[in-house]
Chains A and B, each alone.
Chain A
Amino acid sequence: MTNTPDHTDTTSIILDSIADGVFTVDRDWRIASFNRAAEEITGIPREEAIGQRCCDVFRASICETNCALRETMQTGKPVVNRSVYIINANGRRIPISISTALFKDKEGNVIGGVETFRDLSAIEELQRELEKKFSFQHIISKNSEMLRIFDILPSIAESDSTVLIEGDSGTGKELIARAIHTLSHRKDKPLVVINCGALPDTLLEAELFGYKAGAFTDARKDKPGRFALAEGGTIFLDEIGDISPALQVRLLRVIQERTYEPLGGTEPLHADVRIVTASNKNLHKLVKAGKFREDLFYRINVIRLKLPPLRQRKEDIPLLINHFINHFNTIKGKLITDISPDALAILMDYDYPGNIRELENIIEHAFVLCRTSTIAVHDLPDYLRPEETSKPIVSSTSLNELQAKFILDALRKNNYNRAKTAAALGIHKTTLWRQMKRLGITIEKQ
């Protein structure tokens, strides 16, 4: 005759065999069962946990303010995969994801709650490794174009050549300039940054080249310019497309002859400075329009790096969000662990005219409003939140216009990749191409 384990034994054997921590509480929040994985994750032996108040055992970041089990008990709704952390018996912070459910008797009366939790330490460690892999000199990306730039950046830095960085506002031009400086032999000398678009022309000239006492009213003593301050190092001239034709000539001389004269000075000064420039405008177009000197353009365009806007590297959005969450957790003293899938979907769908800086601002906004450990849709700025009711279709909009808008939206979401867009729309790519042609949609125009 074989001994068959009773129902309670079977349940505890099953619970002990799984890798997730599981505990149950009675209506007084006292722990009624505590499985083997719960012992391992919390570091607390079962016999010490049973009968204790769950907050004394579990010690999660949400116990005091936002208990998930209490929420389930009150609303009857389960909590699924909420990221929090606990402090184990050795004082270690353990990141976990928790899920909760009600515990009912045969009559359907609530007799307690059950909480399952998964140790995310290994996943967090892997995420950190991935971040290291996709991080280069404080620039984070796994976009193929950005990874190509990461690859060539050390060689560019070593070369000492003048570099032109092009990219929309907020794409990280200054970070690239800093990386070039840090990786170069000039790293122990200063990196001087100046935004040429932020200063009026006369002031910019004095800022760049300095002035001698008596050069103008109030110039009582000599003032060194940014070129002098950057001696031996690197000068980063941001928004170079905004400088006047007169200053373009002076800058050309510095680049060509490596000399300049401070305002009111008579002796030319030698400049041992590497010049890195950046513009959010297409300098080649400015040259064609006669607004930027061609000779200066070719002097600064020795090496050109073009940074893609964030809408073309959407694969970086989750990485960047994670990075900004960690960043703001540190400086704002909060313990936000992640972002809800709904909120992430909204951020993935957005076009970011302000690029990474805008994403950073969005996360900072969410940090101010977020009262839990997860950024939710209602923590995002108003302009990102979906409207409560869908917009009525304007009667004058033709079917073709609607189709064109629909296809354009799909293309945008798929980074203008036609194969991906066709797959997302569930049509063959030749059908998509035919429709685009019929509706007059060209990718170049986007």
Chain B
Amino acid sequence: MDTARQLLVAEIESGMVTNNTIVEIPPLHISQKARMIAELGVETLICGAVSRPMEQVLTAFGVNIIPWIRGDVKQVIEAYINGAIFKEQYILPGCHHRSRRRRHMSNRRGGCRGKGAC
């Protein structure tokens, strides 16, 4: 996520993707990048590896982050909608312990509505 150049922003309503937009991310400082993502209205960010500072800044900007995820973007979004995002096939190698913690946190928040980005 720290060096990602593109973001797919998906609008989800009633379990359906209603709109997809690809957003180019310029090379920005992590705080500027996090602000940009927050200003896009992203509520949940699904990404691969992310550094702790980047994760903390995104969280501070109010973005719910689901990191350490891999796979084809469409399948990942479907898995997210269906609540299957934490299946082993979507978790990056060596990151199961981190995703388990996330799963508990996500369950507490519940549901998957609004604007998400991959």
A57–B51 Cα gap in the complex (Å)? Answer: 14
Please state if A65 and B5 are interface contacts (CB–CB under 8 Å). Answer: yes
Residue from the set A330, A331, A333, A335 with the largest chain B CB neighbour count within 10 Å:
A333
Q: Which residues between 83 and 118 of chain B lie within 8 Å of chain A, taking CB atoms?
A: 92-95, 98
Q: Are A333 and B98 in contact (CB under 8 A)?
A: no
Whether A44 touches B5, Cβ cut-off 8 Å, given contacts A59-B48, A330-B29, A333-B30, is: no
The secondary-structure label for the interface of chain B is: loop
| Residues of A with C-beta under 8 A to B2 | 61, 87, 93, 335
A64 contacts the other chain (CB 8 A):
yes
Known: A64-B5, A91-B50. Is A57-B29 also a contact (CB below 8 A)? Answer: no
Known: A61-B3, A64-B3. A333 touches B29 (CB 8 A): yes
State in angstroms the CA–CA spacing of A91 and B49 once bound together. 7
A279 sits at the interface (CB 8 A): no
Query: Which residues of B have CB within 8 Å of A330?
Result: 29
A42 to B48, CA, bound (A): 15
Across the interface, which residues of B come within 8 angstroms of A89, CB to CB? 94-95, 98
Beta-carbon contact of B93 and A91 below 8 Å: no
Nearest A residue to B97 via CB reads: A89
Known: A61-B3, A91-B52. A56 touches B30 (CB 8 A): no
Interface flags, A322-333, vs B, CB<8A=1, else 0 = 000000001111
The answer to whether A48 and B94 have CB atoms under 8 Å apart is yes
Q: Enumerate chain A interface residues (CB-CB to B < 8 A).
A: 42-45, 48-49, 52, 56-57, 59, 61, 64-65, 87, 89-93, 330-335
> Which positions in B face A, CB cutoff 8 Å?
2-5, 26-30, 32-33, 48-52, 55, 67, 70, 92-95, 98
7 closest A-B pairs by CB: A44-B94, A333-B29, A59-B49, A333-B28, A89-B94, A91-B52, A87-B49
